[in-house]
Chains A and B, each alone.
Chain A
Amino acid sequence: MESSYGRELGRAELLDDRLKRSSLLKIGELLEVTIKRFNPDVDLAPSFVRYQVPYAKHMRILDVLNYLEEVQGQDIAYRWFCGVKKCGTCAVRVNGKEVLACWESAERTMLIEPLRHAPLIRDLAIDREDYEAHVLALKPWLQRKGAYPGFPERISHVDMKQASKALDCISCMACYSACPVLDFPGVSNFIGPAPLVQLAQVALDPRDGMDRAELIAKVGNIHDCVSCYKCEEVCPVNIPIVSSIIEPLKRRANADAGARSRHAIMFLKLISQLGRINPARLVLSTQGVRGLGQIKRALKLIALGKINLRQLIYPRAIKGQREVSKIVSKNWNKT
């Protein structure tokens, strides 16, 4: 049975289709545009200013901004250069989602805001300096094992397959703005998806000879990625950021005893021993003594039956645990 009705509920009802949405707009119809405006040097607080823009055929968000600037003479700060999804400078948040202004169609009502997680210069223009410093901290340049063999280098499509996805990145910072972990800089030092994509351009290149495990784990703090796929959802060039960037980089870190995630290793151990995860055991073995600090919660969970004490001490393995253990030892030999 191929039906995916349950998954697709909402797609048609909410016009999740650019062509359909645009076909509803009539030429000359007034679009309601709200722009978050803020000049930190002058204003005390941001204000949401409303404008009306007549719809023109094939109008993009960038065309709306240009209309406000050129026809209405509004002094809105925004950034763009190429207008064709190449330069990566025009990303903004429209109705809560990061998009390239040059690539997304205008809509009937739009709230346009600057990207998040970067200092604001004015209105829609953000300061890219912090982000660029993060990228540089990951040393995203090739460090060859041997000498440069001269041009042309022998390198095949297969060799470059892993890095090729990352090479599509236009550095627009859409994923950097969408990442929920970056909302809490005091809690996590996760460097964010975009700098890791920049790193992957060289780290996944077969010519690179640098051991980047420490960098990925300690500077990138990659183990704080929550795997929510928000980055993939907004990427205008469709890079599978979680599966083609974050996970291969995590594998690099996890192959190195000094850079690996303790959680991942304990996880693997439990699967090998029991075939499944016993959450209380996993938390205890991952956090060690730190886990004992949560004794109050643990007691409550035991009382509710969420932690089974007997299972914690004498865990029961699944039927067929030996098969699982065999698969693990056959495929994982890093100590």
Chain B
Amino acid sequence: MKFAFYPGCSAQSTCKELSLATRQVAQKLGVDLFELESAACTGSRALRALDEKLFLTLNARTLAAAEQVANQLLTVCNTCTLNFLDCQKRLEEDPEMKDAINSELREFNLHYSGKLRVTHFLWMLLEDVGEERLKAAVVRKLSGLKLAAFYGCHIIRPPEHFAFFDSRNARSIERINTILGSESVDYTGRTECCGFHTAAEGEKIAIKLAGRHVKSAQDSGAKAIVTPCPLCHTVLDTLQPEMETDLKTTLKMPILHLPQLVGLALGIHPRDLGMDRHVVPTTDIAPVGAPDDSSGRESFLPCA
């Protein structure tokens, strides 16, 4: 399995541990990743709110570069995924725009055909690796670990596009939990918004939006929240101390990147998954100081 790999800006800076964990897990699962060194930011939500053609051209450039190395592209960020999917759909619907953009890309020796398949790590686990192979790769079931799934908006909405449906019914992370042996709790935040996209301007909305869902996860008995999106991770983890102040309560809720969770079940050491890089310590889930040798593996994996 070969993918052009687009980690996105967060996984290369604030959430470096995400690209670390993704690589480790990909290697274990026999997934080849070719990182796109010249790939630009997809523009988050900001670029499309400035100029549509700029947004489309920038993403068509990255997609065209990916088309040269593989026929599928893997992302680990929800917003990047949606931006790529949106760009592809828009250019498919508007051949004139596509031609205009291709003539702009010509000077960089690039051509956007639109044939690339864009997928997200979460979908790849289920669609490409498949449940059977993932199950077979699990060396230690995460039995007894209660997890709250936080999907994030941009891989479940807008509805009626990209095979998305009523977001509240999404069950892919819960299915992965079952395969890894961990349990899923039900709580208010599963398919809600973390507020990341206003956080650079001011964090108050994000603190309010995410705080109540972290609290709800705690009330539901979750030992950690798992998310497939680095932007959600940034809010849920980095701003958690502020949420505690705002709610006047102790949350101490570890936030795991999905690849980290999978990595734990595949027997990868927490340190190699970058689990010591979180604001909220993950030591209750997986102590980073655990012994390295495989005989000590049991000791760093979540206990029942």
A268 within 8 A of B: yes
A6 within 8 A of B: yes
Q: Which of B229-285 contact A (CB under 8 A)?
A: 234, 238, 241-242, 276-279
Q: Which of chain A's residues has its CB closest to B188's CB?
A: A96
Report yes or no: B49 in contact with A254, Cβ–Cβ below 8 A: yes
| Cross-interface CB contact of B205 among A1, A9, A184, cutoff 8 Å | A184
Report yes or no: A3 in contact with B52, Cβ–Cβ below 8 A: no
Report yes or no: A327 in contact with B61, Cβ–Cβ below 8 A: yes
List residues of chain A with CB within 8 A of the CB of B209: 180-181, 183-184, 226
Report yes or no: A251 in contact with B58, Cβ–Cβ below 8 A: no
B195 within 8 A of A: yes
List residues of chain B with CB within 8 A of the CB of A16: 165-166, 169
List residues of chain A with CB within 8 A of the CB of B138: none
| Cross-interface CB contact of B171 among A9, A226, A233, A319, cutoff 8 Å | A9
List residues of chain A with CB within 8 A of the CB of B202: 287
Of the listed stretches B12-20, B215-223, B292-300, chain A binds: B12-20
Size category of the binding interface on chain A: 35 or more
Q: Which of chain B's residues has its CB closest to A263's CB?
A: B201
Of the listed stretches A30-38, A76-84, A169-177, A301-309, chain B binds: A301-309
Report yes or no: A304 in contact with B38, Cβ–Cβ below 8 A: no
| Cross-interface CB contact of A279 among B9, B53, B126, cutoff 8 Å | B9
Report yes or no: A328 in contact with B166, Cβ–Cβ below 8 A: no
Q: Digit string of A206-222 for contact with B (CB within 8 Å is 1, else 0)?
A: 00000000000000000
Report yes or no: A188 in contact with B205, Cβ–Cβ below 8 A: yes
B135 within 8 A of A: no
Of A227, A279, A304, the most chain B CB neighbours within 10 A belong to: A227
Q: Which of chain A's residues has its CB closest to B38's CB?
A: A320
Size category of the binding interface on chain B: 35 or more
A259 within 8 A of B: no
Sampled A-B contacts (14; CB under 8 Å): A6-B172, A7-B123, A10-B169, A13-B169, A180-B193, A187-B208, A229-B154, A243-B86, A261-B49, A268-B50, A271-B40, A276-B9, A301-B279, A318-B38
Taking Cβ atoms with an 8 Å cutoff, the residues of A that contact B are: 1, 3-11, 13-14, 16, 96-97, 180-181, 183-184, 187-188, 223-230, 232-233, 238, 240, 242-243, 247, 250-251, 254, 261-265, 267-268, 271, 275-280, 282-283, 286-287, 297, 300-301, 304-308, 311, 318-320, 323-324, 327-328, 330-332
20 new A-B contacts at CB < 8 Å, known A251-B52, A331-B57:
A1-B117, A4-B127, A6-B123, A6-B125, A6-B127, A9-B172, A11-B166, A16-B166, A180-B209, A187-B205, A226-B197, A228-B153, A279-B14, A280-B13, A280-B14, A286-B200, A287-B201, A304-B278, A327-B54, A332-B51
